[in-house]
Amino acid sequence: MKNSISLKEDIAVVTGALGKLGPIWIDALLDGGASVCALDLAGAAISEAFGRLQSNYDDSRLQLVRTDVRDRESLESACENCIAAFGVPTILVNNAGIDRPPGDSDQGYRLTEIPFKENRDIFEVNTLGLFQTTQVFGSRMVAAGRGSIINIGSLYASVSPDDRFYDHIPGDPPFLKPPAYGASKAAVVNLTRYLATLWAPHGVRVNALSPGGVLGGQDEEFKRKFCDRVPMGRMAEAGDLHGPLLFLASQASAYVTGTELVVDGGFTAW
């Protein structure tokens, strides 16, 4: 079993590498033995979490490549850079995404006032950008006859956000979780099934990993409300996500494709 979860011969690509979850996935993959090509926008600042990974791993294990999942030419160039650095990828973690958590913007909206552009931007990155990234990197996996693609979903692919989690936050209009976020993640889960059935004969597995709320800078009242709603009574921590990712990335899940692995402490069981 220990050998089946080893990634020592693997080359992984992670989009959205400089965001909240990106370094969590990268840390797990590096710890499992993989070499990692980390992708993010040219203007994205290197986060503290990613900086720590860079200090622990040199260019022979971890490289940052700037790209935009909405730009096909940029993705093709990033793919060639990754192949030149490490070889043909065997793991793709489609993590890049747009969300708007409380405090991320001073601009709130009522449902009837949400601009079309905000919805479009979310779908362009979370769903269409994920598909385009899969076209570019997944096609190389298909040609090689091997690969594991992991699409990062969300508990909100299955359930609607509870506005009561946010009703203590002052604002007029009040904070509203973008409706396009959950809709885009639900589309990702369905797209996962589509790709899984299409590419299974070519040795490429496609699964979704949908985290629940992940601890990271939320205010205390939000955490209290959210944790009261979780059967396990807490939010996810980074270590809670490592095992599920390694399972889907490795040969431990060799007969698993087209599934959504929900890692939410039981949130969606109620």
Enzyme catalytic residues: 181
Contact assessment for residue 77 and residue 235, using Cβ atoms and an 8 Å cutoff: no
Contact assessment for residue 243 and residue 263, using Cβ atoms and an 8 Å cutoff: no
- Give the C-alpha separation, 63 to 114, whole Å: 38
Contact assessment for residue 178 and residue 114, using Cβ atoms and an 8 Å cutoff: yes
- Give the C-alpha separation, 211 to 209, whole Å: 6
Angle between helix 22-31 and helix 48-56 axes, rounded to 10 deg: 20
